[in-house]
Structure 1
Amino acid sequence: MPDLLNQEQRKVTLFSVILMGLTSVHHLYGAIAYHTSWRLHVLLFSIPVLVVTLLLHRAASRPWAFRLYWIITLLAAIILIGIFEGLYNHVLKNVLFFSGFPKSSMEKLYPQGAYEMPDSFFFEISGIMQGIIAIPLIIYFVRLTQAKVIKPKI
């Protein structure tokens, strides 16, 4: 069981780190391409989460460190970046946009100024990749949680 736990944790860490690194590049590019320096605030979030994830991964044999690792992964990587930023802000936006969803409805879901309608391949594909990377991250996170919670019977 410890081997399975370590294997799943390595995968969670890998996908979380990739997600945070991609998020950093995506927002840096968006700030430059759209002249929206306010997008850089995400780097104040993504880079520390990346570093803390790596540090807590190494210390996860301690119960407090694992709990903190688990919470940060769930809240920061999965919910805020993977689901909200990747799946909602980019995957859903692109599906709706390219399926001909009414412009007035798009503007309600994705207000101008905070969101850009698809016009930059790199920006959109890097945003979509955040949602795609979130999927295996969620799968491995669930497996890690199950491996940690479900103890083998002796």
Structure 2
Amino acid sequence: MYGAIAYHTSWRLHVLLFSIPVLVVTLILSRLAAAKPWAFWLYWIITLLAAIILIGIFEGLYNHVLKNILFFSGFPGSSMEKLYPRGTYEMPDNFFFEITGIMQGIIAIPLIIYFIRLTSQKYKL
């Protein structure tokens, strides 16, 4: 949401239309999951797709962590433009925007660990 305000790109607000319903649905499903196997698997799928892949890996790790590593390590500008096209992505110029994005990537790591533990404990994998 901050990126939409900081960069005057209202299309970035789509994350609210996506994340708020996902949050509500996962909270409901987490309560049902112990008693209903279908609820566990629906919770599992939504958590994997929304929280881990889209927000954690794509938004946090790719869009912020990798972008900052490449940018500050002197990766060629033409290659950066291919990976992060202008208009969709912003090169690091706003500390708060980047640090909150990096935090999404960092938080994804324990989330992935807990997700693997949840899966293996539930079905003894």
TM-score by length of 2: 0.97
> Structure 1 residue 60 and structure 2 residue 30: aligned?
no
Q: Distance between the aligned counterparts of 2:29 and 2:7, measured in 1?
A: 35
Alignment match, 1:147: 121
Structure 1 position 95, deviation (Å): 0.2
2:57 maps to: 83
Amino acid at match of 2:4: A
Match of 2:18 among 37, 41, 45: 45
Runs of 4+ in structure 1 deviating by more than 3 angstroms, as ranges, are none
Identity of aligned residues (%): 85
Higher relative contact order (CA closer than 8 Å, sequence separation 6+): 1
Tell me, which stretches of 5 or more residues in structure 2 are unaligned? none
Deviation of the 1:71 alpha carbon:
0.3
For 1:75-114, what aligned pairs fall within 5 Å after superposition? 75-114=49-88
Q: Write the letter of the residue equivalent to 2:64.
A: H
Q: Which runs of 5+ in 1 are unaligned?
A: 1-27
1:42 is displaced (CA, Å) by: 1.2
TM-score, length-normalised on structure 1? 0.79
Task: Tell me the CA shift for residue 59 of structure 1.
Answer: 0.9
